[in-house]
Structure 1
Amino acid sequence: MGKPYKLNPERANKLLGFLELGMDINEACALAGIDKGTYFNWLKADKDFNLRAGQARAKMKAAYLANIIRAGRGNLRTDENGKTSGKPGDWKADAWLLEKHFPRDFGYLAKIQLDGEVKTTIELSNEELTERVKNLLKRKGKKLNG
């Protein structure tokens, strides 16, 4: 009798729950008691599991995005007596979203200038070198002797 199949509803739900929390695949697999390779095999072999894994990751993204949007908006309230409560919005949450969604317009652009000499070493076998020389000479219309 072969090894029992590791993908069962209990293990799948456990793993998907970890993914929905935002854990990376390595950690989620470790906590669910499977190898990362097993996870990727399941994705290929089981369309339903693949769909549910994608949904779990999408739910996690949606939840975190909603939190960031709430942070940007704040929750200031003024009651009938004019008393204000809650927190003001935080522009940094909105700025972060703009940076991530529109990096060309709002992202940080690092400008790097490299000065100096660039040296490149190419290692070729004798056969590869001979073949390249033959091709160069062929383009020039000459033959290699020997």
Structure 2
Amino acid sequence: MAKTKLTPELQNDFCEAIENGDSILGACGYVGISEQTYYNWINRAEEAKSRTKFVKFKEAVDKAKAKALHNFEQVITRASMEQWQAAAWMLERRHPNLYGKREKIEAEVEHKGLTGLADAIQLSKDKHRREDEAD
């Protein structure tokens, strides 16, 4: 089996990029691996039966994602102290049923031809009656 590029240094750099808000693709580029390599490592972690370096990598990445989420939420929370729009934005997304935007959509539908099963049945009956009369 080929030697893996996964080292403690690469893992730390990758997780730092994620914590700072990079996407998976961006973090992969930052540490010099392909996105496919990242997903291969995650798959190996999920299939592992013991706590391999891939499992440790996945756990570290999950923790970095959680930290990034926490950091972004803190930025919005701090901003909401001075700008109500930040609070409104957060409410819309966290509680869309209560605070989400509701848009009224109007549509006009025009029916052409058969408008239902009843019309189709009637046409079929009429056709058969004409055929019977022609016989």
Whether TM exceeds 0.5 here: the answer is: yes
Residue 44 of structure 1: how far off its partner (Å): 2.4
| Match for residue 49 of structure 1 among 41, 57, 61 | 57
- C-alpha RMSD of the superposition: 1.9
Residue 98 of structure 1 aligns to which amino acid in structure 2? Answer: L
* Structure with the bigger percentage of helix: 2
Give the secondary structure class of the aligned counterpart of 2:6.
Answer: coil
Separation (CA, whole Å) in 2 of partners of 1:38 and 1:110: 42
Deviations 1:42-64 (A, max 9, x none): 12222211111111011011011
Residue 117 of structure 1: how far off its partner (Å): 6.4
- Structure 1 residues 100 and 5 mapped into 2: Cα distance closer, same or farther (>3 Å)? same
Question: 1:39 corresponds to which residue?
Answer: 38
Separation (CA, whole Å) in 2 of partners of 1:117 and 1:17: 57
Q: Percent of aligned positions with the same letter in both sequences?
A: 33
Question: 1:11 corresponds to which residue?
Answer: 10
What runs of 5+ residues in structure 1 fail to find an aligned partner? 74-88, 119-146
Task: Give every structure 1 segment of 4 or more consecutive aligned residues whose post-TM-superposition deviation is greater than 3 Å.
Answer: 110-118
Contact 1:43 1:50 in 2 (8 A): yes
Contact 1:44 1:50 in 2 (8 A): no
Farther-moved stretch of structure 1 (104-113 vs 38-47): 104-113
Task: Give TM-score, length-normalised by structure 2.
Answer: 0.67
Separation (CA, whole Å) in 2 of partners of 1:110 and 1:28: 37
Separation (CA, whole Å) in 1 of partners of 2:107 and 2:64: 43
For these two proteins, the number of residue pairs brought into alignment is: 102
Residue 66 of structure 1: how far off its partner (Å): 0.9
Which structure is richer in relative contact order (CA contacts within 8 A, separation 6 or more)?
2
